[in-house]
Amino acid sequence: MTTAADDAVPRLRVVTRELPPMEDVLAYTTPYDPLFWSRRGESLAAFGDLLTLRFPGSRIGDVSIADRWRAIAAAAEIDDPVGLPGSGLVAFGSFVFDPRSERESVLRVPGMIVGRHSGRAWVTRLAFDDTPDEPEPELPPRSPFGPHWAASFGPGRLTAGGYQDAVQKAIDLISARELDKVVIARDIAGTIPAGSDLRRLVRSLLEGYPDCWIFAVDGLIGASPETLVTVSRGTVTARVLAGTTARGGDADTDAAAALALTESAKDQEEHRFAVQSVLASLRPHTSALAAAEQPFTLKLPNVWHLATDVEGELSAHASSLDLVSVLHPTAAVAGTPTDRAMDVIRELEPFDRGRYAGAVGWIGASGDGEWAIALRCAQVDRAAPTSPTAPITAYAGAGIIADSDPESELLETRVKFRPIIEALA
């Protein structure tokens, strides 16, 4: 294992071999510290800590995780006849929202990865190049799932009443023209039984939210509907979500909720800020960048979102991590203008967001990768040696503009907490 302080570039040997098709790979990661990524059945499950880069704060923009990864990939010996997204050399990443965070950003290279994509499956073994030669990689044994468990939650550092007060202060600042938009989040805190099989939480999210990015990296587990950026063979795509309403209880009220969202001037304005933020960040690094003029409504099990897809072509030899560094934080999770919004978040949120609303995903040797914004998620921390429980914290936020209403924004956070709360029940 290495850290960001290590100067030497490790030399890795990576071997990927195709397997017979399989439906599920979750059992091939560990119960206590799962490394997992999935969307619509295309998944990566990993175990073992071969190489871990930890950086204070986000630090994705200076001599950075992106540059460090480029050097590691260039020095690696890779045998990958499969050639699918996620085969060969892969690292899983999770980065903090605020560079002033007390948590670390992390990029982890595991010892073994089992993946599936486009109906095909493979196993990848990763080792240092001075490791004695090993036989061809084979599918490791599945790890049986532990017993079911549940979490208990209570108020966090920002109570429901405190959240409404913070939203009103944000509205006052916007009315005073100090900024156009700011995203204010709140937290809920709880515990889970020590030694819980965290794959149970991952499984519940997989079953309930198959169209979302399901992730587990360094104790951060969630189901995000929002793509930060993907890069595949030079094509860049992103999906912007901003503007939210709860689903209706029946077909008629649900259709009415979707229509009201499309007609909401407040939500359209919030969405426009978010799209403009992404386009402005991507333009210097892409060509033929395009986005629809009007958002569409994205239906999830618990909410409707206004959504816009963005697509372009890389204009230079940038990696997906380079794009993460210029995109984060977007207006969808911070605000506009970004610097002032970050200051307001620090003033009004009495907690460290950690990796909530940061980037989470994976990167391959070529720089291709898939990155989501870490939303609808919870951070599970290790239990103290003698404690029967481990701490868990979940987060949810709402975009605040001039005509926001504190009570309505509180209700929006309750809706956004639902995926993780129900999965933990």
Give the residue numbers annotated as catalytic, written as ranges: 181, 226
Place of tokens 């059992």: 27
- DSSP 3-state assignment of 55? strand
With 0-12 CB in 10 A as exposed, 13-18 as middle and 19+ as buried, what is 8? exposed
With 0-12 CB in 10 A as exposed, 13-18 as middle and 19+ as buried, what is 207? exposed
Distance between CA atoms of 252 and 328, rounded to whole angstroms?
38
Indicate the residue type of 388.
Answer: P
As a 3-state breakdown, the chain gives helix, strand, coil percent values, each rounded to 5, of 25, 35, 40
CA angle 285/289/293 to nearest 5° reads 140
Place of tokens 């950026």: 229
Distance between CA atoms of 29 and 44, rounded to whole angstroms?
9
Per the structure block, which two tokens stand in for 161?
A: 């009443």
Q: Burial code of 74-87, b = ≥16 C-beta within 10 A, e = fewer?
A: eebebebebebbbb
The pair phi, psi for residue 33, each rounded to 5°, is -150, 65
Distance between CA atoms of 221 and 213, rounded to whole angstroms?
10
Cα 191 to its chain centre, rounded Å, is: 22
Pair 184, 166: CB distance under 8 Å? yes
